[in-house]
Amino acid sequence: MQQAQTLYEKLWSSHVVREEADGTALIYIDRHLVHEVTSPQAFEGLKLAGRTPWRTGSIVATADHNTPTDHWDEGIKDPVSRQQVETLDANIRAVGALAYFPFKDERQGIVHVIGPENGATLPGMTVVCGDSHTSTHGAFGCLAHGIGTSEVEHVLATQCLLQKRSKTLLISVDGTLAPGVSAKDVALAIIGHIGTAGGTGYAIEFGGSAIRGLSMEGRMTLCNMAIEAGARAGMVAVDEVTINYLKGRPYAPDGAAWDQAVAYWRTLHSDPGARFDKGVNIDAATIRPQVTWGTSPEMVTDLDGAVPDPAAVSDPVKREGMSRALAYMGLAAGTPIKRIAVDRVFIGSCTNSRIEDLRVAAEVARGRHKADSVKQVLVVPGSGLVKRQAEAEGLDKVFVAAGFEWREPGCSMCLAMNADRLEPGERCASTSNRNFEGRQGAGGRTHLVSPALAAAAAIAGHFADVGELN
């Protein structure tokens, strides 16, 4: 009888082309997602070496990081951004792709939103992209992770990556999540628990009844932030939720091929008794809505909590890091989280810009209005398809009535490569994934939260319980 395998081991072993004695393996890549920021040097390198792409049918490309989220009729004003987007255009048009959703295309959007929603991300695949949040696609029972530009070139040229097997970490979240606690809160609570390097060297599988109870959108949010826990790849086993999500999507198989695929996909779970290198158990009922207070995603606490005191920490490097974070964030130890006022709110990013996220935010905003003290509330859908779906449901009108701005899709203020950014010193409640110094604009201060808490902060002007809003 075959030994019980983890999901990661099944995905890994089904992609090994060859393995050296030292464990370095050549891994076959099924899906290569490409965007404008990390690909130009790879295409250039390929050209200079006189090489051609191995299998352009594996490529799904879009422009997302640089693209503006308003005044699309005016094109991309920043000439440097425009050149990068035009370079992607020229490269993809020259080599071809399975799918290309250029700037302004109706299916354009954040690369980690468009892959799944078009059925281009399928269970059992290896999925890579020159973007660390490629871990998102692990929600479908894929082996998915970010790569650097040299590896983008390597995949273009060889359809493979050189890798070593990761260790395996099972994070089990069992029980029932309290009302108002979302996948984002689970992700932040996990990072708070294991730290931003807790998953380094591991591929994380998220399991347990609370994870099985999440929608695909929720699972994507969770796997998206595996990288914030230090793990390149996060994944969730395939179940009926996965299969139901994919049925009928444009690039998903149909007919007999669908039945054949589904039969295989149902095997993509860790076998009973499979051994993981490490395990972490979390009781779902203990997770409260989360808010980060510092400049690393592990600097996180409950909405009902307070900014911690560095003086209480004995490790000098950690203490110094906390003090520096509080100075950067302009926060005093002991400040209740709910007393922290925000200047701007950002609802979007590959973490939280899918239709479910927008529905939750709209529910909070419905019939209410943003606080006068809040300068701007940006709602940036993850893709053109998400945008149209939201508009069909009337969510855009709810947002606009609440004084929120309804924008075009893209990465936007998650990393502020386009015009959407914080000014120095401004404080933002953001549904994105990184609260690093300067991430949302030089000198900007980011607090990571769920869509519900972001919308609540927009209404109250400070962090607040949805249930406590007027």
278: helix, strand or coil = strand
> Cβ closer to another protein: 195 or 461?
195
Q: Which stretch binds another protein (CB under 8 A): 102-110, 130-138, 301-309, 348-356?
A: 130-138
User: What are the two backbone dihedrals, phi and then psi, of residue 274, each rounded to the nearest 5 degrees?
Assistant: -65, 140
Round to whole Å and give the CA distance between 459 and 388: 25
Token pair in block for residue 123: 């269970």
Site residues (CB under 8 A) for another protein, limited to 322-341: 324
Per-residue contact string for residues 15-54; x = within reach of another protein by CB under 8 A: --xx-x-x-x-x-x-x------xx-xx--x----x-x--x
Please tell me the distance from the alpha carbon of residue 446 to that of residue 425, in angstroms, as a whole number. Answer: 10
| 205-217 burial: b if 16+ Cβ within 10 Å, else e | bbbbebbbebebb
DSSP state of 300: E
Site for another protein in 359-398 (CB under 8 A): none
| Interacting residue with another protein among 77, 93, 164, 369 (CB under 8 A) | 164
In the structure encoding, which two tokens stand for residue 424, read together? Answer: 């120095």
One of 4, 94, 162, 401 touching another protein (CB under 8 A) = 162
The structure tokens listed for 45 are 């390198």
Closest CB to another protein among 198 and 451? 198
User: Which residues, numbered 228-257, are part of the site for another protein (CB under 8 A)?
Assistant: 230-232, 251, 253, 257
Q: Pattern 80-119, binding to another protein, x per CB under 8 A? A: xx-xx--x----------x---------------------
Considering the complex, what minimum distance in angstroms separates the CB of residue 81 from another protein? Answer: 6
The smaller minimum CB distance to another protein, of residues 72 and 251, is found at: 251
Nearer to another protein, 126 or 371 (CB): 126
Strands 278-283 and 167-174: parallel
Q: Which stretch, 101-109, 124-132, 205-213, 270-278, contacts another protein (CB under 8 A)?
A: 124-132
SS3 32: strand
Choice from 136, 159, 182, 352 touching another protein (CB under 8 A):
159
Least separation, in Å, of the C-beta of 83 and another protein? 7
Q: Which stretch binds another protein (CB under 8 A): 173-181, 259-267, 305-313, 347-355?
A: 259-267
Output 172 or 440, the one with its CB closest to another protein: 440
Other C-beta atoms closer than 10 Å to the C-beta of 405 total 17
Burial 282-298 (b: 16+ CB within 10 A, else e): bebeebbbbbbbbbbbb
Q: Compare residues 147 and 235 and give the one whose CB is closer to another protein.
A: 147
Residues 6+ apart with CB under 8 A from 106: 384, 385, 388
Q: Which stretch binds another protein (CB under 8 A): 281-289, 305-313, 369-377, 413-421?
A: 413-421
The yes or no reply on residue 419 touching another protein (CB under 8 A) is: no
* Minimum separation from the CB atom of position 337 to another protein (A): 21
Q: Which of residues 165-204 bind another protein (CB under 8 A)?
A: 196-197, 200-201
Q: List the interface residues with another protein, window 275-314 (CB under 8 A).
A: 296
- Helices within 159-215 (DSSP H only): 183-194, 209-212
Shortest distance (Å) from residue 108 CB to another protein: 18
Q: Is the CB of 237 or the CB of 416 nearer to another protein? A: 416
DSSP string, 42-66: HHHHHHHTT---S-GGGEEEE--SS
Determine which helix (DSSP H) or strand (DSSP E) holds 430, and give its type and residue range: strand 427-430
Residues 6+ apart with CB under 8 A from 140: 116, 121, 122, 123, 125, 216, 236, 238, 242, 246
Query: In the bound complex, what is the minimum distance in angstroms from residue 383's beta carbon to another protein?
Result: 21
Please, what is the minimum distance in Å from the beta carbon of residue 44 to another protein?
7
Nearer to another protein, 154 or 368 (CB): 154
Which H, E and C letters describe 345-408, residue by residue? EEECCCCCCCHHHHHHHHHHHCCCCCCCCCCEEEECCCEHHHHHHHHHCCHHHHHHHCCCEECC
Size of the site for another protein (CB under 8 A): 78
